[in-house]
Amino acid sequence: MIQHASTPVSDEQLYAALKKYFGFDQFRGLQKDVIKNVLAGRNSLAIMPTGGGKSLTYQLPALMLDGMAIVISPLIALMKNQVDAVRGLSDKEGLAHVMNSMLTKGELRKVKEDVLAGRTKLLYLAPESLNKEETIEFLKQVPVSFVAVDEAHCISEWGHDFRPEYRNIRSSVDRLRPGMPIIALTATATPKTQDDILKNLGIEDAQVFKDSFNRPNLFYEVVPKTKNIDKDIIRFIKQRPGESGIIYALSRKQVEDLAQMLQINGIRAIPYHAGLNAKTRSKHQDMFLNEDADVVVATIAFGMGIDKPDVRFVIHYDIPKSLESYYQETGRAGRDGKYAHCLAFYSYKDIEKLEKFLFSEKSRLEREIGLALLNEVVAYAETSMSRRQFLLNYFGEEFDPAKDPGGDMDDNMRNPKPRIEAKDEAVLVLDLLNSVKGNYKINDVINILRGVENAMIKTHRSHLNPYFGKGKHKEKDFWHALIRHLLIHKLLNKQIENFGVLQVTDKGREFLASPTSFMISENHKYDESVSVARPVRKAAGADETLLKMLKELRHDTAKRLKVPPYVIFQEPSLEDMAIKYPVNLEELKRIYGVGEGKARKYGQPFVDLIKKYVEENDITRPDDIVIKSAPTRAAIKAFIIQSTDKKIPLEDIMHAKGLELEELIKEMEQLVYMGTKLNIDYIIEDLFDEEQIEELTDYFMEAERDKISDALEEFGDEYDEEELRLFRIKFISDMAN
């Protein structure tokens, strides 16, 4: 064993210890430099990507130094995984321990015995445990070599997992021994978060080790979140048999429902969230690590510090709350350096839900920070530039997609959008920001350029600015894309700590002095009515010839029955038919959006047409994925039918089944689109007067499609989305079922 600040450790000693304890011949990235700094008794901040080997930078020094190292970690799952890994390095018992409130009296007694006997080299604690008086008094009895603060971004309000308890670590450490060396570690830290870590831990003198955040083996993809998301996920997983993956969702209920749906459809999936008891969480974690389960569906409670190198995909069912969360969660894929796929489903409705939560439950400061972080997520999802470049720029790292590793590893670079000249508009943005003294964020700049008058604009008298309305000739999305490009190319700077205020940089002023060509690609506009089933499975896309024939048949049928075409079958249903070629009514019932009633009422001419087409063109029909529903969902649907027949108010139906209004409407929509009749006249008559009912009936009769976004555009603020969806349910039920 060695002591701090003694003769510097030689490379020979370091490599010998690495081989002895871990069996490795080489260090990765900055590991060796960080370890030398820790062994010398100096403070350190290590910023290394997920999968970059952070844990070794404190585990090896702990094993080499006299005394015991304390490791502060935020999650029990993380601590358990780390302790199991360290214990596997030696046949000596008690080498590493967790000390927390989950231990039995006997287990806690054993931990304390090993610590006092000097057998323990690493003791893992949650920050709450370290800050307890009894813990401090116990730890004063043993020599502590240093303190490692893992997931150190939790100390910052600007970090994505802010934990107030982390703010007390410094005072607790000083009570153990003033000046105790600290190593702080994180996989995600913007410059602002880095400053917070150094300041709050009192280690401003720390040497900062920052490895590249680039993970060139990860493929990033963002797709629209549609009604077909369950089918899209099943297809994605079944195309990767036997591969391990993680699916992240924001709510415990969504985790449970999704895991159950995957299990029913033959996928070895398990749920993981903080609502499960500790024994179940531990069991599920072990099942995933030991390959007794292929997929874990989890909230953010899962994955921090989990050492499973062969995770081949990470799916975000819900878009995360920050880019730090996204980077860290996707970083759990491909730790072995092999190809891994990071797929995120994006819907602006999810963003609106997160915004609503911020406004309802957070303080003003938390709300401002949360919205600033959320805006970065929206920008990332909608950008058409290199996703890797966007991410790395966010963390303060430059990246050139043309020459740096992983440059083509995202959907935007594989399928680039056309680039357009934006020199004049770039000058306009920079000139505007140079002309004002106020604190303007992205949306403020866009509103001024587009001539939008709102309370903020009038308060700052920005509507009197000579640039007001100068950018009316371009859409809002264009200006968003342009400002993102100006930030990436360092012509603008965004003050994250000042909630995203924009400033012109020296480089931006140079550009203004002598403007040159400035090419950009416009942002994506996601259509949530279009399934991603086709892009996921390009080899078996919709048969365009058949699709055209089906649309013509639907048009003729609708004309004959005097109903809108979408009442017969929706567009996604026709597309599904043109992929699966159903040739009888039984097969037609397995088509998206087609139930038994609709199949019987309208289906025969369609399957006859498809059967004839298949025979004439000698088509081999594909086996398809049929999503099986959980029995509980079937029971909910039956309850809804019975309740509406009895004219039970919506609020009572929601309360009886623990549903939100959004969930109830979604269940009702599925019922009517599958051909079931729902009697909701009593609800409609309560919501609308006779004139409104007549107006809405005329609209849906004449509309070419039944998209609610079209109806909202037509009626403006007269009706809200839920009202229009409920009326559409009645209309489809009356006309089609």
User: In terms of DSSP bridges, do strands 207-210 and 44-47 run parallel, antiparallel, or are they unpaired?
Assistant: parallel
Range with lowest mean pLDDT among 88-92, 140-144, 172-176, 646-650: 88-92
Q: Which amino acid is at 642?
A: Q
Instruction: Indicate the burial class of 601 (C-beta count within 10 angstroms; 0-12, 13-18, 19 or more).
Output: middle
pLDDT at 460 (0 to 100)? 65
pLDDT at 462 (0 to 100)? 67
The answer on pLDDT for 267 being more than 60 is yes
pLDDT in tens, 110-140: 999 999 999 999 999 988 888 889 999 999 9
Q: How far apart are CA 306 and CA 82, in angstroms?
A: 8
Architecture, CATH, for domain 541-616: Orthogonal Bundle (1.10)
pLDDT at 535 (0 to 100)? 34
pLDDT at 594 (0 to 100)? 80
pLDDT at 533 (0 to 100)? 36
The answer on pLDDT for 550 being more than 50 is yes
Query: Sign (positive/negative) of CA torsion 376, 377, 379, 383?
Result: positive
Q: How far apart are CA 246 and CA 296, in angstroms?
A: 5
Place of tokens 């953010």: 300
The answer on pLDDT for 541 being more than 70 is no
pLDDT in tens, 38-56: 999 999 999 987 767 888 9
Instruction: Provide the phi-psi class of 581: left if phi over 0, else alpha when psi is between -120 and 50, else beta.
Output: left
What's the DSSP call for residue 623? P
pLDDT in tens, 75-120: 766 677 778 777 777 667 788 899 987 788 888 999 999 999 999 9
pLDDT more than 70, % of the chain: 88
The tokens of 722 are what?
């839920």
- Band of the pLDDT at 534, cuts 50, 70, 90? very low
Q: How far apart are CA 721 and CA 719, in angstroms?
A: 7
Q: How far apart are CA 424 and CA 418, in angstroms?
A: 18
> Is 614 within 8 Å of 579 (Cβ atoms)?
no
Mean pLDDT of 670-698: 86
- Pick 15 or 306 by higher pLDDT: 15
Q: Across the strands, what pairs with 125? A: 72
Q: Which amino acid is at 263?
A: Q
Mean pLDDT of 591-597: 77
Range with lowest mean pLDDT among 295-309, 408-422, 651-665: 295-309
Q: How far apart are CA 621 and CA 618, in angstroms?
A: 9
Cα 246 to Cα 229, 310, 324, 591, 629: the distances in Å are: 16, 11, 17, 28, 21
Going through 190-303 in order, the beta strands assigned E by DSSP cover: 207-210, 218-224, 244-248, 269-272, 295-298
pLDDT at 529 (0 to 100)? 46
Place of tokens 């995360």: 320
Instruction: Spell out the CATH class of 218-414.
Output: alpha beta
The tokens of 457 are what?
């604009």
- Band of the pLDDT at 705, cuts 50, 70, 90? confident
User: In terms of DSSP bridges, do strands 519-521 and 419-421 run parallel, antiparallel, or are they unpaired?
Assistant: antiparallel
The answer on pLDDT for 666 being more than 80 is yes
Q: Is-same-fold flag (419-521; 541-616)?
A: no
Per-residue b or e along 88-126, where b marks 16 or more CB atoms closer than 10 Å to that residue's CB: ebeeeebbbbbbbeeeeeeeeeebbebbeeeebbbbbbb
Per-residue b or e along 306-333, where b marks 16 or more CB atoms closer than 10 Å to that residue's CB: bebeebbbbbbbbbbbbbbbbbbbbbbb
Q: How far apart are CA 719 and CA 737, in angstroms?
A: 25
Mean pLDDT of 204-221: 92
The answer on pLDDT for 59 being more than 90 is yes
Going through 232-374 in order, the beta strands assigned E by DSSP cover: 244-248, 269-272, 295-298, 311-316, 340-346
Q: Across the strands, what pairs with 247? A: 297, 315
Per this entry, what is the length of the chain? 737
The answer on pLDDT for 307 being more than 70 is no
The answer on pLDDT for 721 being more than 80 is yes
pLDDT at 289 (0 to 100)? 83
Query: Sign (positive/negative) of CA torsion 487, 492, 493, 495?
Result: negative
The mean pLDDT of the chain is 84
The residue ranges of every structural domain in the chain are 11-210, 218-414, 419-521, 541-616, 631-736
The tokens of 13 are what?
């000693």
Percent helix, strand, coil in the chain, to 5, is: 50, 10, 40
- Band of the pLDDT at 499, cuts 50, 70, 90? low
Element (H, E) at 44: strand 44-47
- Band of the pLDDT at 539, cuts 50, 70, 90? very low
DSSP 209-235: EE-----TTEEEEEEE--TTHHHHHHH
pLDDT at 305 (0 to 100)? 46
Record: fold of 11-210? Rossmann fold (3.40.50)
pLDDT at 530 (0 to 100)? 44
Element (H, E) at 504: strand 501-504
pLDDT in tens, 620-645: 776 555 566 655 567 788 889 888 88
The answer on pLDDT for 443 being more than 50 is yes
Q: How far apart are CA 8 and CA 291, in angstroms?
A: 43
Place of tokens 């004309």: 559
Architecture, CATH, for domain 631-736: Orthogonal Bundle (1.10)
- Band of the pLDDT at 718, cuts 50, 70, 90? confident
pLDDT in tens, 345-392: 988 778 877 877 777 656 777 777 788 788 888 889 888 889 999 999
**CATH match for 419-521 among 3.90.1150.10, 3.30.70.260, 1.10.10.10, 1.20.1420.30:** 1.10.10.10
Mean pLDDT of 584-592: 85
Helix (H, G, I), strand (E, B) or coil at 438: coil
> Is 55 within 8 Å of 73 (Cβ atoms)?
no
